[in-house]
Amino acid sequence: MVSKIEPDRYANTGFSIKDTPQELNDHLFHQMMKKTGTERLEIGCQMNTTARQLVWSGIPESLPVEERRELFLHRFYGHSLE
């Protein structure tokens, strides 16, 4: 599987959060690159888990299961997977 992310989208080549000063973005990128691949993978998995929990917490539990799942997919991925 080939990544669909353009090469210029990586943090060390200009991709950054718009409200973060470039110097801080560079520092954070270099700090992350000092970590091992395993550590970076663990951080990514933890971020995914947190993001999923945040999305689920905003969906009322009173809705039917199928509707909750559809809302989750739309909010988490930006569209339904139909």
Q: CB neighbours of 72 closer than 8 A, spacing ≥ 6?
A: 55, 56, 59
pLDDT at 8 (0 to 100): 47
State phi, psi for 56 to the nearest 5 degrees: -60, -35
- Residue pLDDT tens, the chain, 82 long: 455 545 445 555 555 556 778 788 888 889 999 999 999 999 999 999 999 999 999 999 999 999 999 999 999 988 656 6
Are 41 and 65 part of one and the same domain?
A: yes
pLDDT at 52 (0 to 100): 96
C-beta pairs of 50-58 under 8 Å, 24+ apart in sequence: 51/76, 52/76
Are 13 and 41 part of one and the same domain?
A: no
Whether 71 and 81 have beta carbons less than 8 Å apart is answered as: no
For residue 68, give its domain range: 37-82
pTM of the model: 0.65
Are 47 and 77 part of one and the same domain?
A: yes
Are 54 and 66 part of one and the same domain?
A: yes
Whether 59 and 67 have beta carbons less than 8 Å apart is answered as: no
Are 10 and 43 part of one and the same domain?
A: no
